[in-house]
């Protein structure tokens, strides 16, 4: 009977244990006072483009986006913070030591982001990120943060900090410069077939750099890249300014670009062939610059939005069947970009349509090269002032140690 009683008692204990009776907690959550917060300056908005651009930068601000604070309930306590998995991140664990009882400690937990998923975010959405606090392997408290994540095409430009000052983020423009895009190799083959240059050899003489830029410029005109001012986003933040930026392949396929998009498109090709692009950013505009010598002392400029002044591809479809020449209406569209001698040469049959296009491209390149000269000269002191946030001189090559290219989803 005694043996039977012992067996029954043991089974009862096992059933009680399996029934989920909780073990009494030894640590008071009120004492630990666990807090998990998202940087308040970001207004509960998560910029996926910033996560991707800064992924390889150890000193990045993304490492400080989330902050947890705990008060140690005893000497030499062991803290473990577990961040649950979501569509944007893997489960992430941070473990730290809490040496002194009663002292408040602050940490920035490392989030393991699902970068492949971030690349594909083309629309905004919401995500709940849950932080669980363990002390000495005992679960103490749970906090949840709901964020509005932004599509990867949305680039943060600036935000108003809690100190009343603006924090500038337009250096993130350079994350959309993608010299590694697989399309560029085919584009370079097309540029070489134009005959303006026979090779891209990384030469740094001023004349050779200009010739290479003229070749890239002609390609953009021949591709028919038009100006489009789309920049708006649905960002709910009252503190931040952001802008929609097209990826390299978006510009290529849709043949549309605003000032930043076009700078990004040109810079991607330039970086691929060894040229050094600069994106000059004014309060309401951006234009392209580039170094023309190895010492990086001489800078040439290019107003990329001028590609939208002409539509070279449409000329092929408007040849007069009787004369074999451009219809008058379409000739007049491009004639203003020709010298009187060039107009006469074409009208008299001494210039082919391809030669006409090339002449238009070269003349428009000259205009684009001088378009921002006065503005650049007047504002150079502002571009070189580190404390100035509304004028920026973004040297892509120098920023590469801080900003990685964001691959488009097609990559």
Q: What is the pLDDT of residue 162?
A: 83
Report the phi/psi class of residue 228: left, alpha or beta, with left for phi > 0 and alpha for psi in -120 to 50: beta
Q: What is the pLDDT of residue 9?
A: 45
User: What is the distance between the terminal CA atoms of the chain, rounded to a whole angstrom?
Assistant: 75
Going by C-beta distance under 8 Å and a sequence separation of 6 or more, which residues neighbour residue 397? 271, 276
Euclidean distance between CA atoms 96 and 20, whole angstroms: 30
Going by C-beta distance under 8 Å and a sequence separation of 6 or more, which residues neighbour residue 394? 170, 171, 173, 174, 278, 279, 280, 281
- pLDDT tens profile 237-283: 778 888 999 999 999 999 999 999 999 999 999 999 999 999 999 98
CB 194 within 8 A of CB 219: yes
Q: Is 40 exposed, middle or buried (0-12, 13-18, 19+ CB in 10 A)?
A: exposed
Domain residue ranges in the chain: 26-150, 170-399
Q: What is the pLDDT of residue 231?
A: 56
Q: What angle do CA 223, 354, 357 make, to 5 degrees?
A: 60
Q: What is the pLDDT of residue 408?
A: 74
- Is residue 353 within a helix (H) or strand (E), and if so which, with residue range? helix 353-370
Is residue 240 helix, strand or coil? Answer: strand
For the structural domain made of 26-150, what CATH number should be given? Answer: 2.60.40
Whole-angstrom CA distances from 26 to 74, 104, 131, 134, 320 are 11, 19, 20, 12, 91
Mean pLDDT per 10-residue section of the chain, whose length is 411 residues: 44 42 77 96 94 79 86 97 97 97 95 94 95 97 97 91 85 95 94 92 83 96 85 68 91 92 96 95 92 90 94 91 88 94 93 94 97 95 86 94 82 47
């Amino acid at each position: 009977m005694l043996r039977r009683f012992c067996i029954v008692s043991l089974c009862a204990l096992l059933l009680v244990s399996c029934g989920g009776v909780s073990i009494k907690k030894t640590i008071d959550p009120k004492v630990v006072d666990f807090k998990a917060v998202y940087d308040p300056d970001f207004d509960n908005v998560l910029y996926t483009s910033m996560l991707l651009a800064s992924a390889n930068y150890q000193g990045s601000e993304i490492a400080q986006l989330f902050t947890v604070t705990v008060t140690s309930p005893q000497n030499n306590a062991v803290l473990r913070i577990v961040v649950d998995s979501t569509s944007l991140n893997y489960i992430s664990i941070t473990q730290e030591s809490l040496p002194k009882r009663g002292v408040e400690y602050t940490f920035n937990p490392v989030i393991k982001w699902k970068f492949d998923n971030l690349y594909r975010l083309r629309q905004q959405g919401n995500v709940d990120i849950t932080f669980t606090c363990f002390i000495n392997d005992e679960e103490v408290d749970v906090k949840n943060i709901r964020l509005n994540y932004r599509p990867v095409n949305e680039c943060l430009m600036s935000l108003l900090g809690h100190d009343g000052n603006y924090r500038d983020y337009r250096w993130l423009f350079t994350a959309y410069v993608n010299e590694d895009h697989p399309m560029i190799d085919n584009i370079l083959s097309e540029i070489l077939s134009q005959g303006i240059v026979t090779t891209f050899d990384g030469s740094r003489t001023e004349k050779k750099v200009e010739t290479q830029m003229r070749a890239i410029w002609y390609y953009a005109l021949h591709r028919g890249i038009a100006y489009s001012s789309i920049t708006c986003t649905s960002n709910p933040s009252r503190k931040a300014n952001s802008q929609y930026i097209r990826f390299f392949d978006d510009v290529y396929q849709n043949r549309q670009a605003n000032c930043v998009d076009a700078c990004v498109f040109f810079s991607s090709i330039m970086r691929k062939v060894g040229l050094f692009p600069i994106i000059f950013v004014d309060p309401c505009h951006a234009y392209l610059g580039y170094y023309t010598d190895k010492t990086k002392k001489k800078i040439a400029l290019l107003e990329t939005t001028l590609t939208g002044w002409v539509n070279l591809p449409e000329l092929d479809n408007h040849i007069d069947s009787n004369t074999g020449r451009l219809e008058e209406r379409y000739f007049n569209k491009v004639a203003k970009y020709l010298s009187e001698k060039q107009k006469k040469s074409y009208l008299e049959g001494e210039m082919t349509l391809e030669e006409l296009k090339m002449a238009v491209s070269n003349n428009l390149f000259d205009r684009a090269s001088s378009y921002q000269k006065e503005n650049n000269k007047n504002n150079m002191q502002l571009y070189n002032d580190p404390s100035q946030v509304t004028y920026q001189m973004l040297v892509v090559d120098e920023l590469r140690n801080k900003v990685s290219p964001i691959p488009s989803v097609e990559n």
